[in-house]
């Protein structure tokens, strides 16, 4: 039987929802920019800030401000550090109300019975990601020892070591293991380089980065994801 490992952010829940609510409260009256495009940009800058912090180029506490300041600068809004901090506070508030959508919950329940082992691998700090795991009630589907946070295991996607650590801890065979995530550069590239199979859950319809790496399967809706899982 095959194994399934899931990303968390914007894969198991809608990460844009808390961003959109904070945007509407603070900056929507200053720009006509499409909120989803702003969110996509913020995700790119979030990954950029995450790795900059790991490399010691910026303090950990500046990660969020960096992504917000850069995102809105792209659309001509000069966000001050204090405003970025307020955005983060509102974002964190709305993140306390995140949930796993029913169609994703149904997929997780199906995976519990249809696959040998299931788990999650997410990038971020233990404090932030651990809180999300609790709010999403992921323990309804995953054992505590199969939920991995990069800060805790000492390696972050797309570094293959993050995947190898999960592989070793769960005693997985790479040729029998599938990773499901939404971010091409982090999830698809990392998992493929580790020798895993990948379903790219591209529900934001992002373009594929040019290169030799391609996902085994690309889907854009939860319905398509369920069908793909039923076939592998």
Residues 48 and 149 in one domain: no
Rounded Cα distance, 192 and 200, in Å: 11
Residues 218 and 103 in one domain: yes
**Predicted TM-score (pTM) of this structure:** 0.90
Residues 10 and 23 in one domain: no
Give the pLDDT of the chain (232 residues) as one tens digit per residue. 799 999 999 999 999 999 999 999 999 999 999 999 999 999 999 999 999 999 999 998 999 999 999 999 999 999 999 999 999 999 999 999 999 999 999 999 999 999 999 999 999 999 999 999 999 999 999 999 999 999 999 999 999 999 999 999 999 999 999 999 999 999 999 999 999 999 999 999 999 988 899 999 999 999 999 999 999 9
Rounded Cα distance, 180 and 197, in Å: 9
Q: How far is CA 174 from CA 71, 143, 195, in A?
A: 37, 20, 6
Q: Is the Cβ–Cβ distance between 181 and 11 less than 8 Å?
A: yes
Beta bridge partners of 198: 179
Q: Which domain holds residue 22?
A: 16-95
Q: What are phi and psi of 179, to 5 degrees?
A: -110, 140
Residues 137 and 77 in one domain: no
Q: How many domains does the chain have?
A: 2
Residues 30 and 134 in one domain: no
Three-class DSSP category at 198: strand
Residues 54 and 166 in one domain: no
Q: Tokens 């319905």, residue?
A: 223
């Amino acid at each position: 039987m095959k194994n399934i490992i899931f990303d968390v952010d914007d894969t198991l829940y809608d990460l844009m929802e808390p961003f959109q609510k904070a945007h509407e409260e603070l900056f929507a009256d200053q720009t006509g920019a499409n909120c989803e495009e702003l969110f996509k940009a913020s995700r790119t800058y979030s990954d950029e800030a995450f790795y900059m912090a790991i490399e010691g180029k910026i303090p950990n506490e500046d990660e969020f401000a960096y992504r917000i300041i850069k995102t809105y600068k792209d659309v001509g809004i000069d966000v001050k550090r204090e405003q970025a901090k307020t955005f983060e506070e509102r974002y964190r508030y709305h993140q306390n109300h995140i949930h796993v959508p029913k169609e994703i919950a149904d997929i997780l329940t199906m995976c519990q019975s249809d696959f040998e082992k299931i788990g999650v691998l997410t990038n971020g700090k233990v404090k932030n990601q651990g809180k999300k795991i609790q709010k999403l009630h992921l323990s309804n589907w995953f054992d505590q020892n199969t939920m991995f946070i990069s800060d805790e295991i000492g390696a972050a996607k797309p570094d293959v070591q993050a995947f190898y650590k999960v592989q070793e801890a769960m005693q997985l065979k790479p040729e029998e293991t599938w990773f499901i995530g939404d971010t091409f550069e982090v999830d698809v590239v990392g998992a493929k380089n580790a020798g895993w199979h990948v379903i790219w859950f591209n529900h934001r319809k992002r373009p594929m980065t040019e290169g030799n790496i391609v996902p085994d399967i690309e889907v854009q809706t939860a319905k398509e994801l369920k069908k793909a899982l039923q076939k592998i």
